[in-house]
């Protein structure tokens, strides 16, 4: 999905990357991995990380405007096109402490990664290794003993969550979709 940048993941989230300089005043176009560029307007400041893992001090955001699926951002310390060109390709980091608390029916993808998935009876299904959006809803990508399982995140399927687990009520056959017949016990 996203490029490799080295940074302390316990302190920062990788939001995306600086795609390119935009205009002459120092603005940059940000490509955001979430596909929701409007969220950048919620933050006061962002940090950048280069390929070597060097992280900038927090950069104050002066303005944000949307352009299609990108955000055009002006940082306080970048005053011209040359300065904007110098940060092209850098990763865009957000300190975790800046994240707003999610509403009751919301969640952050990074908060689900690594959680165990169990059914309502407590049977272990697997561990969430990633998520993606299929246009209709989010999909949990679960690493299970039978291989990768895709579970839609809907209110009727994902019925509970704790600090360590996600509880699902999958419709019949969902967990077997895309599975080979040889996952079952030998005959």
CB contact at 8 A, 92 and 14: yes
Please write the tens of the pLDDT for every residue from 56-96: 999 999 999 999 889 999 999 999 999 999 999 999 999 99
182: three-class secondary structure by DSSP: helix
Domain boundary among 48, 74, 97: 97
Both 29 and 82 in one domain: the answer is yes
* Count of domains for the chain: 2
Per-residue pLDDT tens over the stretch 39-63:
899 899 999 999 999 999 999 999 9
Task: Give the Cα-Cα-Cα angle 85, 65, 30 (nearest 5 degrees).
Answer: 40
85 and 142 both lie in a single domain: no
- Alpha carbon distance 109, 2 (integer Å): 14
Q: Residue 30 has what pLDDT?
A: 96
**18, 53: one domain:** yes
pTM greater than the 0.85 cutoff: no
Tokens of 35: 């596909």
pLDDT digits (tens, 9 = 90+) for 145-165: 989 999 999 999 999 999 899
Last residue within a domain, chosen from 48, 75, 97: 97
pLDDT of residue 171: 92
């Amino acid at each position: 999905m996203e490029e490799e940048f080295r940074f302390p993941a316990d302190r920062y989230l990788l939001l995306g990357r600086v795609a390119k300089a935009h205009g002459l005043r120092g603005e940059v176009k940000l490509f955001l991995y979430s596909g929701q560029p409007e969220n950048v307007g919620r933050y006061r400041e962002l940090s950048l990380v280069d390929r070597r893992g060097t992280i900038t001090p927090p950069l104050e955001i002066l303005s944000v405007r949307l352009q299609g699926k990108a955000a055009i951002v002006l940082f306080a310390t970048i005053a011209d096109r040359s300065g904007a060109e110098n940060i092209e390709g850098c990763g865009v980091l957000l300190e975790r402490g800046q994240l707003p608390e999610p509403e009751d029916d919301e969640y952050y993808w990074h908060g689900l990664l690594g959680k165990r998935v169990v059914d309502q009876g407590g049977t272990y299904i697997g561990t969430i290794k990633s998520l993606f959006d299929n246009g209709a809803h989010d999909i949990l990508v679960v690493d299970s003993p039978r291989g990768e399982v895709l579970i839609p995140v809907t209110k009727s399927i994902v019925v509970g969550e704790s600090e360590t687990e996600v509880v699902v009520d999958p419709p019949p056959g969902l967990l077997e979709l895309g599975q080979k017949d040889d996952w079952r016990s030998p005959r």
